[in-house]
């Protein structure tokens, strides 16, 4: 796992597939994690946090942007190690808890080979297993991380996908609804492409300076303009 500083208060943890983020509260009163990485990565995450001066009990929130294994995989172990509460979009919560099976994506023709390649790469990854969800999030909910964190419902990648908008600092965590591989683009492997396109456009309307994706390098500075330019290139449906 690789750790990279994104802004003064945000670090990105990069795994074999996907990435998560550690956010230090602007008032210094703890940390939050946005996504948890593949299963089995709880120790590297905790070690990276320790190097940043964070004790396990300093982690107060683990927010899962959606239910896919590269985002929720280590959530249960991290929650057990830290005592943090786990938050996720309400429609995805039953999948994360293991109560219902994971709905498969509806692949575009060009995505089939990519999907097969990704699945092959995950063949040796252990299953995520269920994880409790303490708080089910809905559009417009507000979290306090020393600044306002507004929950934005962005369905399409999964039904319960959420983005997080840190309104004062202009940071947006998009989950997999938007990717940065190799440029700003619609995320792949969506359950409902039409809704995913609508969710992309909604995020492009937000006032943001930094965009942090589930896959690909963050955009630091001018992210709103980059999102709007990418949205203008999207197909109609």
CATH of the domain at 34: 3.60.15.10
In the chain, the number of structural domains is: 1
Whether the predicted pLDDT of 131 surpasses 90: yes
Give the range of the structural domain holding residue 181, as residue numbers without chain letter. Answer: 2-97+109-122+131-232
pTM of the entire predicted model: 0.97
**Token pair for 164:** 């997080």
- Has residue 24 been placed in a domain? yes
- Has residue 189 been placed in a domain? yes
Contact 152, 105 (CB under 8 A): no
- Has residue 237 been placed in a domain? no
- Has residue 185 been placed in a domain? yes
The chain-wide mean pLDDT, for the chain, equals 96
180 pLDDT band (50/70/90 cuts)?
very high
Mean pLDDT of 151-162: 98
**Sheet strand arrangement including 85-89:** 2-5, 10-14, 19-24, 31-34, 59-64, 85-89, 135-137
pLDDT reported for residue 121: 86
pLDDT reported for residue 237: 62
Q: Which of 49, 59, 105, 54 is nearest to 84 (CA)?
A: 59
- Has residue 103 been placed in a domain? no
Residue 73 half-sphere exposure toward CB, CA atoms < 13 A? 22
Question: CA-CA distance, 119 to 180, in Å (whole number)?
Answer: 20
User: Which helix (H) or strand (E) element contains residue 22?
Assistant: strand 19-24
């Amino acid at each position: 796992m690789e750790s990279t500083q994104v802004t003064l208060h945000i670090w990105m943890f990069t795994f074999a597939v996907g990435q998560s983020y550690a956010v230090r509260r602007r008032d210094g009163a703890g940390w939050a994690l946005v996504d948890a990485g593949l299963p089995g990565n709880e120790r590297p995450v905790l070690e990276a946090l320790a190097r940043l001066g964070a004790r396990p009990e300093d982690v107060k929130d683990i927010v899962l942007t959606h239910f896919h294994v590269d985002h929720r995989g280590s959530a249960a172990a991290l929650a057990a190690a830290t005592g943090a509460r786990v938050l996720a979009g309400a429609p995805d919560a039953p999948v994360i808890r293991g109560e219902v099976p994971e709905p498969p994506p509806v692949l575009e023709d060009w995505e089939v080979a990519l999907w097969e390649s990704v699945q092959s790469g995950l063949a040796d990854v252990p299953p995520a297993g269920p994880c409790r969800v303490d708080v089910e999030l809905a559009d417009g909910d507000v979290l306090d991380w020393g600044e306002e964190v507004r929950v934005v419902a962005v369905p399409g990648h999964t039904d319960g996908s959420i983005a997080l908008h840190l309104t004062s600092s202009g940071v947006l965590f998009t989950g997999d609804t938007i990717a940065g591989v190799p440029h700003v683009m619609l995320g792949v492997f969506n359950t409902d492409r039409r809704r995913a396109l609508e969710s992309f456009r909604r995020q492009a309307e937000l006032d943001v300076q930094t965009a942090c994706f589930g896959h690909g390098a963050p955009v630091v500075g001018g992210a709103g303009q980059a999102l709007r330019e990418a949205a203008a290139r999207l197909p109609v449906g």
